[in-house]
Structure 1
Amino acid sequence: MRIFGISLYVIIALLFAVHAVRTQQNMYWLLILFLFPGLGSLVYFFVIYLPTLRQSRGARATTKAFSQLVDPNRAVREARIDFDRAPTVAHRMRLGAALLDAGNPAEALQHYQAAASGPFSSDPALLQGLARALFANGDASATQDTLEKLFAVQPLARQQPEPALLYARALAASGAPGTRAAFETALTCASDAAPRCQYADWLATQGDEADRQRARDLYADIVHDAKHWPRHAREHNSEWLQRAQAALSR
């Protein structure tokens, strides 16, 4: 039993050593882990591994989902309290974003429009939030205009995942020319599977067989890539994976 205990300490130390190398920790951690496998592993867990785990994308998403489940109105409530105490543009924007995330786009739009009527009307973060609120309220044309204003004041935003995809979706919703090019741009700066799936959805509605084949290829790419996604990526892209699988089954 004692030998088994020693082996277990060594195995745990080896696992933490691999983590230390992969995350480029200071090499003295390897010395601590191998000289004192039991105590060293315990110290490494609390000092390095646990904080890293908490900062991971998957952990943040899980924490956010749990908070929304336990207290779904917390973000809106806290943002509203801050805005009531100090009705600044920043607090109004925070409240608008919280309302959007909570599924209240109508009130969110009111706050963004009020913020945009002041001296910060050209603020990139404000314009992006306003565009989100407009699109959530079904105003694709105004969304397009707002994003084009954003791209004028901050050209790099055209290459950022969220505004690039929102612009393509706005063009698609209003049947505006340039939809294809906008989706292609969104693909080049994508951070998840959303642009591929939504571009495929649009292509599938086009009359050309080449477009429908491209749609099938994009759906198939999502399904193929999903085999290699880590857990947090699979959870984040679950909606797009399910839609791609459903489209291919049809």
Structure 2
Amino acid sequence: MSNLGIGGIGLHVIVAIFFAVHAVRTHQNMYWLLLLFLFPGLGSIVYFFAVYLPSLRDSRGARAASRAIKQIVDPNRAVREAREAFDRAPTVDHRMRLGAALLEVGNAAEALEHYQAAANGPFASDPALLEGLARAQVATGRHADAQATLEKLFAAHPQARDQAEPALLYARALSALDAPGTRDAFERSLTCASDAAPRCLYADWLSRQGDAADRERAKSLYSEIVHDARHWPRHAREHNREWLQRAQVALGQ
């Protein structure tokens, strides 16, 4: 038998073993192991299309990649579809969906118009609506309005104070206004943080303060981001890229 034939058979077996390990780890039916070992070539092809490929599509990384590809190929698709839905039925839900889509593509001014219109209706205390309105207000530099919106949100829904997005929005609004309570707002945002943004933005604010202890705390927060980034999975590194780069620049790396 030629070396090419031996290599071909060996490759089939290696691929079958790879898929067998995947089957065991993902708790697939045992008949897949039988198929892979009795018919390594054909079994691997069937397993790839029936089990392995769908599992990749369902993974968090695959979903993120899919969203990124859609954003590159058709960046305005979400806005277009949301606008069409709103034109067909101008409900508050559709208006909020359009506002969120507009924010994602950087059209904060139009997003603000939609959120403001929705906030004047019977759903004025809806938490998703108030959070979206605050996001649009921060994005357009209306930080005092954002502070008032978020305080309305916290009064109606106290649990929102301990949610990552509203807590950070509130700290950002106070920071931009140099308002009392900025430090406490950032400290609270750290306790419910879902990414590196609160640490980086808090460090930015601390570094602008005159106290040496604040500047030292800022340096510590930047260093934490850089240190933690060594252990982030790929999707976390992509998500936090801006904050990592800002921390590295601040530390002179």
Question: Aligned AA for 2:159?
Answer: L
User: What's 2:28 paired with?
Assistant: 26
**Residues 52, 157 of structure 1: CA spacing in aligned structure 2 closer, same or farther, 3 A cutoff?**
farther
User: What's 2:126 paired with?
Assistant: 123
Map 1:1-250 to 2 at 5 A.
Answer: 1-22=4-25, 24-26=26-28, 28=30, 29-249=32-252
Fraction of identical pairs, as percent: 72
Question: Aligned AA for 2:28?
Answer: N
Q: TM-score, normalised by structure 1?
A: 0.90
* CA RMSD, Structure 1 to Structure 2 (Å): 2.1
Q: TM-score, normalised by structure 2?
A: 0.89
Q: Render the CA deviation track for 1:4-31: whole Å, top value 9, x for unaligned.
A: 3333233323333444455x43352445
Using the alignment, how far apart are the partners of 1:35 and 1:194 within structure 2? 52
SS of the counterpart of 1:249? coil
**Residues 110, 19 of structure 1: CA spacing in aligned structure 2 closer, same or farther, 3 A cutoff?**
same
**Residues 21, 209 of structure 1: CA spacing in aligned structure 2 closer, same or farther, 3 A cutoff?**
farther
Equivalent residue pairs, number:
249
**Residues 178, 19 of structure 1: CA spacing in aligned structure 2 closer, same or farther, 3 A cutoff?**
farther
Structure 1: gaps spanning 5 or more residues? none
Structure 2: gaps spanning 5 or more residues? none
Question: Aligned AA for 2:27?
Answer: Q
Q: Render the CA deviation track for 1:190-227: whole Å, top value 9, x for unaligned.
A: 22211111111111111111111111111111111222
Using the alignment, how far apart are the partners of 2:179 and 2:39 within structure 1? 66
Greater CA deviation, 169-178 or 24-33? 24-33
Displacement of 1:240 after TM fit? 1.0
Question: Aligned AA for 1:45?
Answer: F
**Residues 26, 109 of structure 1: CA spacing in aligned structure 2 closer, same or farther, 3 A cutoff?**
same
Using the alignment, how far apart are the partners of 1:232 and 1:132 within structure 2? 24
